[in-house]
């Protein structure tokens, strides 16, 4: 980390200069700090970011999200340099499904179609028949012939919600998101009593007991759309509160109440992995062209197949 890191406006100016010099595109997820969202060339949910990564003509992709998202960008763009601000920005869902464990399950259930949530490692993707995101998960499950048994990995909560929505039985991998699991049903009920006019927006990674109280369940982009278009003026937001920055921009007159975690004194409703990214690390990544996502060609080819199947569904 040689050399001084500029501060304040000079830091923003340097990022701007390097972005041009490197012909880089900065992709940012809705859970990033607002200052990173404001800097990104494109912000979106997992599906939108994967599409943006696929379509970019930049030479360098700087992915401000978590590792599996940057890996997906690399799989879709093997010839481009894909950078992350912090290599330690992982995901508890991806960690919950090691490829060797999924391989053992597959060996015991050779007839199952494996549907994996995009929040998984590239190695897990290579063992998957089709990927989904929370935006298109229903469509992906419905695309599988009715006589085929399904294993859904790694998120048990998204899986349980899909079973309810599609009426389709699936065997569920028992993974979960540490952020969405922390939301307190008790806190939600109290907030609802105090704000009877508020609509509850929830991500399907939340537990079923919490989703039962939601007025709208969807991916980050779907929750944002509902906040913008539904005409309501107050929302309790049961997902990572980074999304509220875009909700406030899209519908500024509304009030947004972030749902706290079990321990209301901590910031545990914020994703600790997403929040590792900072402006300083963005500057360093563009300056040094590091840390870089590197993958072998065999893994890229095998992981691309289930992603392409998802993309082909539109
Ligand atoms: P979205 O695809 O809805 O943005 O979800 C990504 C994620 O990691 C949610 O925790
Ligand atoms: Fe993973 Fe949860 Fe963070 Fe999303 S919010 S990146 S699922 S740990």
| pLDDT of 265 over the 90 cut | no
Domain termination site, one of 136, 152, 178: 178
Tell me: do 24 and 59 sit in the same domain.
Answer: yes
User: What is the tens place of the pLDDT at every residue in 145-196?
Assistant: 999 999 999 999 999 999 999 999 999 999 999 999 999 899 999 999 999 9
232 CA → ligand 1 middle, Å: 23
Asked if residue 54 lies in contact with residue 25, where contact means CB atoms within 8 angstroms, the answer is no
Tell me: do 13 and 53 sit in the same domain.
Answer: yes
Tell me: do 172 and 229 sit in the same domain.
Answer: no
Instruction: List the alpha helices (DSSP H) in 64-199.
Output: 67-76, 92-95, 99-108, 122-125, 137-142, 156-166, 185-194
Residue 267 lies in a domain: no
| pLDDT of 2 over the 90 cut | no
For residue 2, give Cα distances in angstroms to 5, 57, 63, 154, 288.
Answer: 9, 30, 22, 40, 10
89 CA → ligand 2 middle, Å: 10
Residue 166 lies in a domain: yes
Q: Which atom of ligand 2 is nearest to the CA of 92?
A: 8
User: What is the domain count for the chain?
Assistant: 3
Q: Which atom of ligand 2 is nearest to the CA of 91?
A: 1
Domain termination site, one of 138, 160, 178: 178
Query: Residue with the nearest Cα to atom 3 of ligand 2?
Result: 271
Q: Which atom of ligand 1 is nearest to the CA of 219?
A: 3
Domain termination site, one of 161, 178, 195: 178
Confidence of residue 262 (pLDDT cuts 50, 70, 90): confident
Q: Which of 46, 179, 205 to mutate to test the pocket of ligand 2 (most atoms within 8 A of CB)?
A: 179
User: What is the tens place of the pLDDT at every residue in 226-238?
Assistant: 999 999 999 999 9
DSSP state of 101: H
Asked if residue 62 lies in contact with residue 26, where contact means CB atoms within 8 angstroms, the answer is yes
Residue 146 lies in a domain: yes
Rounded Cα distance between 129 and 111, Å, is 12
Tell me: do 187 and 253 sit in the same domain.
Answer: yes
Instruction: List the alpha helices (DSSP H) in the chain.
Output: 8-21, 34-39, 46-55, 67-76, 92-95, 99-108, 122-125, 137-142, 156-166, 185-194, 208-211, 220-229, 244-250, 279-288, 297-312
What residues contact 95, with CB distance under 8 A and at least 6 apart?
A: none
User: What is the tens place of the pLDDT at every residue in 116-143?
Assistant: 999 999 999 999 999 999 999 999 999 9
Residue 155 lies in a domain: yes
Tell me: do 208 and 222 sit in the same domain.
Answer: yes
CATH number for 70: 3.40.50.10800
What residues contact 45, with CB distance under 8 A and at least 6 apart?
A: 29, 30, 133, 134, 135, 219, 220, 221, 222
Residue where the block lists tokens 């309810």? 164
Residue 172 lies in a domain: yes
Tell me: do 84 and 113 sit in the same domain.
Answer: no
What are the tokens at 302?
């095998």
Residue 269 lies in a domain: no
Query: Residue with the nearest Cα to atom 8 of ligand 2?
Result: 91
What are the tokens at 249?
């921009």
Return the pLDDT at 39. 97
Average pLDDT, rounded, for the chain: 96
Tell me: do 75 and 16 sit in the same domain.
Answer: yes
47 CA → ligand 2 middle, Å: 14
Tell me: do 126 and 162 sit in the same domain.
Answer: yes
Q: Which structural domain range is residue 118 located in?
A: 93-178
Determine if ligand 2 sits within 6 Å of the CB of residue 69: no
Tell me: do 288 and 225 sit in the same domain.
Answer: no
DSSP for 184-209, written as a single string: -HHHHHHHHHH-TTPEEEE-TTS-HH
Rounded Cα distance between 42 and 39, Å, is 9
Tell me: do 126 and 148 sit in the same domain.
Answer: yes
| pLDDT of 1 over the 60 cut | no
7 CA → ligand 1 middle, Å: 31
Average pLDDT value for residue range 210-230? 98
User: What is the tens place of the pLDDT at every residue in 34-74?
Assistant: 999 999 999 999 999 999 999 999 999 999 999 999 999 99
| pLDDT of 293 over the 80 cut | yes
Residue 111 lies in a domain: yes
Question: What dihedral angle (degrees, nearest 10) is formed by the CA atoms of 74, 76, 79, 84?
Answer: -20
Confidence of residue 209 (pLDDT cuts 50, 70, 90): very high
Residue 309 lies in a domain: no
């Amino acid at each position: 980390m040689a050399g001084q890191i500029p501060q304040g406006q000079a830091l923003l100016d340097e990022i701007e200069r390097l972005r041009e010099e490197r012909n880089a595109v900065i992709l940012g997820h809705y859970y990033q700090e607002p200052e990173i969202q404001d800097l990104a060339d494109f912000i979106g949910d997992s599906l939108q970011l994967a599409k943006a990564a696929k379509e970019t003509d930049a030479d360098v992709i700087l992915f401000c999200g978590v590792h599996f998202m940057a890996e997906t960008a690399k799989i879709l763009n093997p010839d481009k340099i894909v950078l992350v601000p912090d290599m330690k920005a992982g995901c508890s869902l991806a960690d919950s499904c090691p490829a060797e464990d999924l391989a053992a399950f597959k060996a015991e259930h050779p007839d199952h179609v494996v549907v994996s949530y995009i929040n998984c490692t590239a190695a897990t993707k290579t063992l998957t028949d089709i990927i989904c995101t929370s935006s298109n998960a229903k469509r992906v499950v419905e695309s599988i012939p009715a006589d085929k048994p399904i294993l859904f990995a790694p998120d048990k909560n998204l899986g349980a919600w899909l079973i309810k929505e599609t009426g389709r039985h699936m065997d569920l991998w028992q993974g979960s998101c540490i952020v969405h699991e922390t939301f307190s049903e008790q806190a939600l009920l109290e907030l609802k009593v105090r704000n009877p006019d508020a609509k509850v927006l929830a991500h399907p990674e939340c537990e079923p007991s919490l989703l039962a109280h939601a007025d709208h369940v969807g991916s980050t982009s779907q929750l944002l759309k509902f906040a913008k278009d539904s005409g309501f003026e107050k929302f309790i937001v049961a997902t990572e509160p980074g999304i509220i920055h875009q909700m406030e921009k899209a519908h500024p007159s509304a009030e947004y109440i972030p749902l706290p975690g079990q321990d209301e004194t901590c910031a545990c409703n914020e994703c600790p992995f997403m929040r590792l990214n900072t402006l300083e690390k963005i500057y360093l990544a563009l300056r040094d062209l590091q840390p870089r996502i590197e993958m072998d060609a065999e893994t890229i080819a095998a992981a691309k197949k289930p992603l392409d199947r998802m993309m082909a569904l539109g």
